[in-house]
A = this chain, B = another copy of it.
Amino acid sequence: MLLLGKPVIKKLSNEISKYIEAHQLTWKYVAIFLLSDDKPSEVYVGKKAKKAEKIGIYADIKLWKLWDVEEVIDEIQQCNVDTNCIGIMVQLPLAEHLKEHQMRILDTIVPEKDVDWLGTRLFGLAGFGKIDFVPATPKATLEILKYYWMDDYRWKTITIVGTSNLIWKPLAVELMKRGATVITCNSKTDKQFFKDTLAASDFIMSATGRKHLINKDVLDTNLEDKILVDIGWWIDEDGAYGDIDWKYYEDKVKAVTPVPWGVGPVTVTCLFHNIMAIGEQKNHISG
């Protein structure tokens, strides 16, 4: 079975639109900083702007790859205090001359507008359990499985493949809270261990960005009850692809998310859904 993102997006978008209306946020804006000429970044930012428009807010794209660090920080600070700005996103990677200042730039964003979870402060608040906040990508993974009633994780062995701390850590924590047993693998994992782990898992969630890392050479047993979730969305000249060779698995496993049309587009929606999540917990964030 293919788990498509589209109906999940529809459901979440409805929730956001209602929130935006109820809180009179229509035509307020999110600021999206695009500070490089990285191609995939341009695509992402385009998707975010389109999504914003659809749910009824404005996206102010700040395409400033030539600005220096002080100018960028100054502009973020203006967004911080502007009450019409309800979210600040900085697209990564930054341009070369800004890279060494990345942490300073991201930590300039006030936590109550840090919908993308880029600053250390919001991360800390969520880590301490002061607020309930799951960043967009792990959230998209949970939402897609919830939509298709595949979110009973108790006693399930779940392997997460990936090295991005922003994905595997919060995802692992959320799954463990729900009773799963979680194992994580990365590029340093022994190859045989990796194969055995995949074979023994009920769920496999892969977030590396390496094309078809999960293919029939590493995983071809015990397929029928498995659920495969591809978080490894990437794009190049040949189009979008993922970590999982989903066409091979489509008729063999219980469920698989394809790329494109799986987790990727849900992620963008979850980013905006997190404007809600932050808005509803504002007291705990700025306190």
Write the residues of chain A forming the contact surface with B, with a CB cutoff of 8 angstroms.
103-104, 119-125, 127-130, 154-155, 157, 165-166, 169, 172-173, 176-177, 179-184, 189, 193, 287
Contacts and interface: CB of A to CB of B under 8 A. Distances in A.
Question: How many copies are assembled?
Answer: 2
B179 A129 contact: no
A135 B71 CA distance: 37
A182 B173 CA distance: 10
Nearest to A121: B120
B181 A128 contact: no
B154 A130 contact: no
A274 B177 CA distance: 28
Given A176-B183, A179-B193, A183-B181, A123 B127 contact: yes
A104 B284 CA distance: 11
A46 to B, nearest CB: 26
A103 B127 contact: no
Most chain-B Cβ atoms within 10 A of its Cβ — which of A120, A172, A179, A182?
A120
Nearest to A165: B129
Nearest to A119: B124
Contacts of A121: 120-121, 124
Nearest to A158: B181
Nearest to A129: B165
A169 B124 contact: no
